């Protein structure tokens, strides 16, 4: 899982384009990109799209429902769960308890649909409220369904009254840098994937590539996208290089050959157990790709 592309749930045309984008995950959106009056139509369009395309290719189809406090989430789930999406993206999650609540709802819908319990995965956006941002450490053991945590700056900026999320140099200001860092730490604590937020200037490939590289450096393994043109850039950056894979394989082999070793020398460099864990995580990403 490298790229996750948002697609408005009320547009058949954009949903079809999403299938051809090369994104690893399509996020069929019933929340921010769909107006209130279009939500009933979007639910039906999303359900039909899922039914027609769920098993046709390797893309995973997730649905971003409305948040649990909106009064709309249950109607979203009622509409789309009979079509068995691969997963649900939960916005405005305030803590791991929200993921647990969503998981309980999914248990019921899976039972009604005749699907195995736990087959629907969960991604959570954890920094769209102040409480959610400060609760990043609450996701361990929230649900076995949880496969990733991600963050967002725009909703948080509205909540706290920030006039901008970036400074004059295009860098996130301190509050949003904190939200980003807490997402990485929260994901690590929950032993799940850390997914970077969207880059809103979809015509700036150089800026997107730079932000992807910084995110990959810091521990993110994937990034949200808002336009199909962003997907190739994201996939390129988050696909481990041949050199990185070869190095990881050397480290794993060396420790396998000497299981009792705490430190091993390879090509003049010293590697210890944290390096082994990092190599194993990278190879896990390769397997997922």
Is the CB of residue 63 less than 8 Å from the CB of residue 33?
A: no
Per-residue pLDDT tens digits for 135-149 = 999 999 999 999 999
Q: Has 191 been labeled as part of a binding site?
A: no
Q: Is 33 helix (H, G, I), strand (E, B) or coil?
A: coil
Q: Has 38 been labeled as part of a binding site?
A: no
Per-residue pLDDT tens digits for 11-31 = 999 999 999 999 999 999 999
Q: What is the mean pLDDT of the chain?
A: 94
Q: What is the pTM of this model?
A: 0.90
Q: Is 2 helix (H, G, I), strand (E, B) or coil?
A: coil
Predicted confidence band of residue 287 (pLDDT cuts 50, 70, 90): low
| Rounded-to-integer distance, Cα 204 and Cα 207, Å | 5
First-last CA distance in the chain: 6
Q: Has 205 been labeled as part of a binding site?
A: no
Average pLDDT score over residue span 219-226: 97
Does the structure show a pLDDT above 70 at 288? no
Strands in 92-192 per DSSP E: 121-125, 146-150
| Rounded-to-integer distance, Cα 31 and Cα 62, Å | 13
| DSSP-derived pairing of the beta strands 25-29 and 3-8 | parallel
* Closest residue by Cα to residue 185 from 173, 196, 177, 194: 194
In this predicted structure, which of 115-119, 220-224, 242-246, 251-255 has the lowest mean pLDDT?
242-246
Is the CB of residue 28 less than 8 Å from the CB of residue 55?
A: no
Q: Which domains does the chain have, with CATH numbers?
A: 3-238 (3.20.20.60), 242-288 (no CATH)
| Rounded-to-integer distance, Cα 228 and Cα 235, Å | 11
Per-residue pLDDT tens digits for 68-112 = 999 999 999 999 999 999 999 999 999 999 999 999 999 999 999
Does the structure show a pLDDT above 90 at 230? yes
Per-residue pLDDT tens digits for 145-171 = 999 999 999 999 999 999 999 999 999
Predicted confidence band of residue 197 (pLDDT cuts 50, 70, 90): very high
* Closest residue by Cα to residue 231 from 89, 18, 79: 18
Contacts of 25 (CB under 8 A, 6+ apart): 1, 3, 4, 5, 59, 60, 61, 62, 86, 87
């Amino acid at each position: 899982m490298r790229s996750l592309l948002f697609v408005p749930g009320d547009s058949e045309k954009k949903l079809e384009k999403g299938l051809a984008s090369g994104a690893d995950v399509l996020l069929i959106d019933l929340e921010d990109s769909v107006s209130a009056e279009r939500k009933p139509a979007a639910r039906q369009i999303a359900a039909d799209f899922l039914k027609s395309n769920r098993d046709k290719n390797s893309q995973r189809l997730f649905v971003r429902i409305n948040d649990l406090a909106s009064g709309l989430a249950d109607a979203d789930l009622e509409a789309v769960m009979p079509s068995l999406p691969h997963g649900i993206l939960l916005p405005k999650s305030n803590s791991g308890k929200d993921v647990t609540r969503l998981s309980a709802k999914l248990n019921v819908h899976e039972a009604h649909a005749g699907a195995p319990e736990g087959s629907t995965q969960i991604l959570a956006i954890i920094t769209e409220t102040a409480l959610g941002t400060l609760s990043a450490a609450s996701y361990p053991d929230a649900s076995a369904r949880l496969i990733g945590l991600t963050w967002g700056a725009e909703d948080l900026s509205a909540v706290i009254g920030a006039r901008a999320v970036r400074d004059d140099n295009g860098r996130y200001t301190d509050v949003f840098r904190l939200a980003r860092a807490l997402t990485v730490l929260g994901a690590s604590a929950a032993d799940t994937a850390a997914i970077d937020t969207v880059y809103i200037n979809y015509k700036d490939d150089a800026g997107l590539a730079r932000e992807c590289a910084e995110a990959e450096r810091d521990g993110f393994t994937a990034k949200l996208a808002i336009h199909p043109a962003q997907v190739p850039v994201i996939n390129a950056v988050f696909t481990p290089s041949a050199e990185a894979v070869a190095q990881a394989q050397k480290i794993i082999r060396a420790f396998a050959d000497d299981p009792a070793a705490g430190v091993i020398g390879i090509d003049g460099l010293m590697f210890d157990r944290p390096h082994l864990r990092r190599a194993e995580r990278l190879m896990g990403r390769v397997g997922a790709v």
